[in-house]
Chain A
Amino acid sequence: MNKMFPTQEVGSLAKPRWRIKGYRGKPLSKEEIAEAVDWGRKLGIKNLGELVKLLSKGDSADRKTAMLEWSAKYAIRIFETAGLDIVFDGEQYRSEMYEHVIRKTAGFKFLGYVKSFDYRYFNKAACIDKPRYVKSFYLDEFLFTKENTKKEIKVPFTGAYTLVDWTFNEYYEKKFSGEIRGFKGRKFEAKREFLFDLIKEVMRPEINKLIDAGAKWIQIDEPAATTNPTDEETKLFVESFNETVKGFSCVFSLHNCYSNYEVLAKHACELRNCSQLSLEFANRDSRQAGTGNVRTGYNAIKLLEEHSFHGNYGLGVVDVHTNFVERPELVRDRILHVAKVIGDPSRIYVSTDCGLRTRTWEISFRKLKNMVLGAELARKALE
């Protein structure tokens, strides 16, 4: 991109109540319908009467698809209206980054809920057969986004390492039980084979489809990449990323968050065809204005630079876990601080820490708007 400090969101936006209930075929209250109309007006969405009609009528198969399209349209407009340079549909087509892919791929079975923390749980699947590509899981939403925006598009794509890490590995552990004696070595080899089968059978065919349909930039989301911060596991992760993107003519970037980036920094320069590392930083930074020592959250940048990472940064300057709306000046200072550390402002893409799905649209919109204003201030400062 020619512009300095292009702005982007990482992926997800919250789903409004009218989308959730509407998709499930549940009746909506007047307030919920009014919420859809208010936002529609704010975003300049056309044919709102059609949406109201749809929301007022009962459940139907058409309604499901239509709801996905309407909320995707809203999400695209939110990003555009806030002034982002790179957009997507806020992952409105997806139930969630893990389940969405697993449910549409053969070889998996959901075993039920296991603990995440406190009274929160997640539905965990087991791999019970060699994974098999059945149908595309991202193509519909990509095509819809493509039709509905003129901006540059980035497709968020859940990475194989994370899918494997979050899944019980029954099929491959069983397969190796006769072959490898030590349980530890067996677990690792079983994980390895699961990972590379998933890449070959499912990830690459999907990437192929997206590229054929015109995708130019795919962001591989790998929150689990730094879950196992050992050299052995990080090397496996890097190998899996390289294998996923190998030979495709498309821009790829990598998103990771909420971890200690130390081991990743050591191996980041081994990532091939990875134009950008999109990382969460704002969450660990102070809220004071200024550059230099106050920017405590951005220490890992130095580490990445020391380990010769030469790619771009998707620089998290907006914390997605709080309703605190960063002032444009704070955004500016975060950008300028890192621009100085790396000595090359053209390597910075201004970004949120992660997807905004846990914030309301109201807060998300204000945060994104200030992020865009902050990037503008940073551009001016360097003029």
Chain B
Amino acid sequence: MIGCYVTGVLPRSSKLIAKTRSYERGKISKNELEESFEKATENAIKAQISAELSYVTDGMLKWQDLFRPFTENLKGITVGSLTRWFNNNTFYRKPIITDYVKREKDVVNKIMHFEKLPKNLPWKAILPAPYTFVSLSGNQYCKDEAEFMFKFAEIINEEIKSLAATGFSYMQLSDPALVYEPLTPKSKKDRLALVNDVLETAVKGTSVKTCLQTFFGDFSRILPEALDFPVDHLGIDLYATDFEKLKEYSFEKGVALGLVDSRSSLVEEQDELVVAAKEIIKSIYRSGMEEVFICPNCDLDFLPWERAEEKMKVISSVTKRLREEFS
């Protein structure tokens, strides 16, 4: 099966951007801002449906950063200073662990506009992976980083269960820190063994499909260990990964190929993407093809809305062509 979906936050349209700015300047009320977000969310969902994506998200337009719903809603975490988001000209607010971390209520369900999602299509939710969340947090409380990683994995596990009950059937755990070169752990083997166990805790007892989405770094950096991670699919940023190294391994699980570059405004040539995807699929699946998803390499909100919309269409067209190739 070859499908497609988005892998993160979608951009706010220029109209919505104007509204958020007016809100900041005290020119419109919170209600008016809320209405604008709702309207933009409907459009973000509509764009995914019209691009014929296999799973639909609510666009995550309200997410100020990947961590913020957790930073703001978990007990024991406070919102810290603005910090650069990997090698981008964008910033997140650092979660600061100040006390025993507790989840007292739903986090993602609370911010998600699931009531606007279509009933006839499967839904996808996107959450921060424990490794990335903990690596990018400031810890003033928990002495043992691994212990906190497991704690956060338990919270993610509860979130997944709650989202599954709402109707989401696909969960992406975003884990850029795992492959980002400047954060590469020194004792890689031990680290990846820890990540494996942490993921085990995060997905334990859940029946939805799961994907560990990596980006901003070379996926081959975590091979071959990642092949055994307890998730259904592995997400690869093809604009940061060495193709040749990737092709040295034989995969027995599904992949999400980040074939479209969210950090470039250039709309990709479809022919070229089809050729690259075919080559990768053929070389990594030596004993039978697994599920493959074509997707943007990371959040599309690095782009203005119009370009993001075009790129959604590209992943959809490429997916169709690949389906024909592999049928």
Contact = CB atoms under 8 A, between A and B. Distances in A.
Given A113-B14, A113-B17, A230-B181, A119 B84 contact: no
Interface stretch (A33-41, A199-207, A221-229): A221-229
Interface residues of B, number: 42
Interface string B16-40: 0100110110000000000000000
Contact of A117 (B14, B65, B302): B65
B140 interface: no
Contacts of B11: 114-115
A177 B270 CA distance: 12
B89 A111 contact: no
A344 interface: no
Interface stretch (A56-64, A140-148, A149-157, A167-175): A167-175
A184 interface: yes
Given A113-B304, A114-B304, A117-B92, A168 B261 contact: no
B125 to A, nearest CB: 20
Contacts of B93: 117-118
Q: Which of A122, A228, A263 has the most CB of B within 10 A?
A: A228
A173 B91 contact: no
Given A114-B304, A119-B23, A170-B265, A184 B89 contact: no
A227 to B, nearest CB: 5
A184 B181 CA distance: 14
Contacts of B269: 177
Interface in B70-93: 82, 84, 87-93
A170 B310 CA distance: 15
Contact of A224 (B24, B89, B240): B89
A164 to B, nearest CB: 12
Given A170-B264, A182-B244, A111 B307 contact: yes
A113 B264 CA distance: 14
Interface residues of A, number: 35
Interface string A104-148: 000000011111111101101010000000000000000000000
Contact of B302 (A114, A126, A229): A114
A136 to B, nearest CB: 26
Contact of A111 (B65, B182, B304): B304
Contacts of B181: 230
Contacts of B304: 111-114, 124
A296 B272 CA distance: 51
A112 B14 contact: yes
A114 B264 contact: no
B242 A229 contact: no
Interface string B221-259: 000000000000000001111111000000000000000
Given A173-B266, A183-B261, A184-B218, A119 B87 contact: no
Interface centre among A114, A165, A166 (most CB of B within 10 A): A114
B154 interface: no
B301 interface: yes
A313 B20 CA distance: 41
5 contacts: A114-B304, A126-B266, A181-B276, A229-B182, A263-B182
Given A112-B304, A184-B243, 7 more contacts: A115-B12, A116-B89, A116-B91, A118-B93, A126-B265, A184-B240, A227-B89
